[in-house]
Amino acid sequence: MIKKIATYIIGTAAVFSAVWGMFRAFDTVQDNQEDMIESIEHINVEQQFQAEDLAEIKDTLWKLEAEHKAQGANIESLGWAIKNLDNFTPEQMEEILDRTLRNNPTAYRGSVEIIPID
């Protein structure tokens, strides 16, 4: 009788041990999956931040390109004005340079005055 009770106790303990072991294994797998999901979500957030940074960089580059083209146009018109300096009176040239420099507010500081070189 003691042998039967011991067998039942040992059998019950073995079943509980097996169930506990399966629970722990399943729990470990589930924890690993949750960790992987969390890592993937973190990577997605980081990629979103990087995409926003790249978009801002592209916008900045487009603005710089537009400013560069505008400055190039102003330089070309100033070059034209210098080449044709003899074709205009000082008042006309002053008006041309005033208009040209007003188109580029970063370079314009006050009015232009032509001083003849003697």
* Residue 113 is assigned to a structural domain of this protein: no
Does this model's pTM top 0.75? My answer is: no
What is the tally of structural domains in the chain? 1
* Residue 87 is assigned to a structural domain of this protein: yes
* Residue 35 is assigned to a structural domain of this protein: yes
Choose between 92 and 107: higher pLDDT.
92
The pLDDT, as a whole number, for residue 92 is 76
Q: What is the pLDDT of residues 100-109, one digit of tens each?
A: 666 655 554 5
Is pLDDT at 117 greater than 70 in this prediction?
no
Domain that holds residue 18: 2-102
The pLDDT, as a whole number, for residue 103 is 62
Burial of 77-108, coded b for 16+ CB within 10 Å and e otherwise, reads bbeebeeeeeeeeeeebeebbeebbeebeeee
